[in-house]
Amino acid sequence: KFIEVGDTVQPGQPLLNFADIEFLQVEVDIPARLRPGLREGMMLRAELDVQAQGTVGAGALPVRVAQIFPMADPQRHTVKVKFDLPQGMAQPGMYAKVLVPDFNAPARVNPVIPRSAIRFNGSLPGVYVLDEQGNPQLRLVRIGEPTPNGNVTILSGLRAGENILTNPGPDVATGWSRESGKGR
């Protein structure tokens, strides 16, 4: 309510604000490059600021693409999209983050290797990668999350399909030969 009894009002001045909160939507401006990957009716995930409100069911929720506006904002290069929220999971004015996939991004799969393949040089993790002649070369890597079965995800420094030593012994070093088992 914006006015009280006896206040003078002008044409166009809001008198009160009300909402039908049975069916709520999230309105999001997404980058225009993500628009081709969206279709009305498509299901995505959204994270709502529900923990602060004490609402049960905090976390990612399914949302449905309800409307995609046909015009992009020429200054911001965004497209307005409305998403339907599940009933009873949100309140008007809550913060929401919709997880919109980027179908233009190249699919990237990080290699997963046994934890035993990682050797630390001080605090720097490395992996012995076999070159064309089968000789190991120590390469620094960036380690990601461990998997439940004892493997480790490699975020950078190793490409999928490269051959590595999965359990290099203490005698293995750059210049070591697989055939002889000795240094050169």
Looking at the chain, the number of H-run helices and the number of E-run strands are: 0, 11
Q: What fold is seen in the domain 25-99? A: Elongation Factor Tu (Ef-tu); domain 3 (2.40.30)
Predicted TM-score (pTM) of this structure: 0.51
Query: Is the CB of residue 173 less than 8 Å from the CB of residue 165?
Result: no
Residues 6+ apart with CB under 8 A from 116: 166, 167
Q: Report the C-alpha dihedral over residues 178, 181, 183, 184, rounded to 10 degrees.
A: -60
Instruction: Give whole-number Cα distances, 179 to 134, 139, 176, in Å.
Output: 9, 21, 9
* Separation between Cα atoms, residue 98 and residue 56, nearest integer Å: 19
Q: How confident is the model at residue 56 (pLDDT cuts 50, 70, 90)?
A: very low
Q: Name the residue type at position 137.
A: Q
At 177 the pLDDT is: 53
Segments making up each domain of the chain, as ranges? 25-99, 109-184
Query: Was domain 109-184 assigned CATH 2.40.420.20?
Result: yes
- pLDDT tens column, 124-177: 999 999 888 888 889 999 998 888 788 898 989 998 888 999 888 777 765 555
Q: What is the pLDDT of residue 20?
A: 77
Length of the chain: 184
